[in-house]
Amino acid sequence: MTDRLSAEELAAMLDPCGNEPLRLARKILVLAETGSTNDVAAQMARSGEAEGVVVFAESQTAGRGRLGRHWESALHKGLWFSMLLRPGLAFSNWSRLTTWVAVGVARGLEEALPGCRASVKWPNDIYLNDRKAAGILIECSTDANGFAVAGIGVNVNHSREDFPEELITRATSLREASAKSEEVDRQKVAVALLRQLDRLYCGLAEDFPALVAEAEARSILIGRQIEMRGAAGTGTLRGIAEGLEPDGSLRIRTEDGLVQTLSGGEVSICGWW
Ligand code: BTN
């Protein structure tokens, strides 16, 4: 049986006593279909909506990933949602959101799937068993009414054949990673993710070093030979990933022994795929 997302059920699961909704999930919307949940949340932000809206869609017709890529959002198979945020931080620190979401999603997946270890492929892909299970797309508007939208896509009940050809060897789902035959309850996963993200949100301002330390401990890149294509002015940058800097950027030692920090982009592990 395929489960359905329900805004009322999600709200009740998050706040069973009905008196203290999560700061980040004050209002929950579930859409049957939309272009991109990030666009819906951004539109609400531009109309003056406060922080704390979460928009889920059962399917997206124009789901997007980082670097302008298409994001496959199969009907009822995954969790495709966006959170509207108005971080109380200087804009120069909004890059911290990346580390926060990555750690929150990793913790949420582990809560939903006890026994699984979730890793972070910097900056914001979440891996289970060396395959990508979730991706994060953060989009910001830093004008006077600034807001950020954290879009999260989680492969939950996909089977191998549900992934497009080019992702078959790289992607996984929670169901596959759990090695159980029954479907994973998407609402329980959504609740675990929202709770963990909400719990960690204050750490953005108050204890960011702890978030960076956890992202580093979960990183699949550290100690590995990596490369980044199209790195500014260099063509391809290769080196060993050494660690994360206090602001969450990636520190690498290049082949000629120099230390470089990367604040974003797409890195690959040499020798993978
Ligand atoms: C990536 O891995 O490149 C990021 C993928 C982010 C996908 C999510 S699904 C919900 C939200 N809406 C979108 O259009 N994208 C994000």
The answer on pLDDT for 90 being more than 90 is yes
Q: Do both 231 and 197 map to the same domain?
A: no
Q: Do both 66 and 167 map to the same domain?
A: yes
Q: Is 78 in the pocket of ligand 1 (CB under 6 A)?
A: no
- Which position has the higher pLDDT, 145 or 209? 209
Does 1 map to a domain?
A: no
17-21, 79-83, 88-92, 120-124: least confident range: 17-21
**Domain span at 233:** 225-269
Residues 159-172, mean pLDDT to the nearest whole number:
88
Q: Do both 104 and 213 map to the same domain?
A: yes
User: What is the reported pLDDT for 174?
Assistant: 96
CA of 259 to the centre of ligand 1 (A): 31
Q: Do both 185 and 253 map to the same domain?
A: no
Q: Do both 21 and 51 map to the same domain?
A: yes
Please, what is the average pLDDT of the chain? Answer: 93
- Total number of domains constituting the chain: 2
Q: Do both 202 and 236 map to the same domain?
A: no
Q: Is 203 in the pocket of ligand 1 (CB under 6 A)?
A: no
Q: Which of 7, 94, 100, 18 is nearest to 54 (CA)?
A: 7
Does 2 map to a domain?
A: no
Q: Is 64 in the pocket of ligand 1 (CB under 6 A)?
A: yes
Q: Do both 25 and 153 map to the same domain?
A: yes
Does 158 map to a domain?
A: yes
Q: Do both 173 and 236 map to the same domain?
A: no
Does 156 map to a domain?
A: yes
Does 259 map to a domain?
A: yes
pLDDT digits (tens, 9 = 90+) for 256-270: 899 999 998 889 998
- Which position has the higher pLDDT, 231 or 122? 122
CA distances from 212 to 56, 96, 100, 252 (A): 28, 9, 8, 16
| CATH number of the domain to which 245 belongs | 2.30.30.100
Does 51 map to a domain?
A: yes
| CATH number of the domain to which 127 belongs | 3.30.930.10
Does 33 map to a domain?
A: yes
Residues 120-143, mean pLDDT to the nearest whole number:
96
Q: Do both 230 and 209 map to the same domain?
A: no
User: What is the reported pLDDT for 103?
Assistant: 98
Query: What residues contact 70, with CB distance under 8 A and at least 6 apart?
Result: 63, 64
CA of 220 to the centre of ligand 1 (A): 21
Does 136 map to a domain?
A: yes
pLDDT digits (tens, 9 = 90+) for 48-61: 999 999 999 999 99
The secondary structure element, H or E, covering residue 120 is: strand 118-121
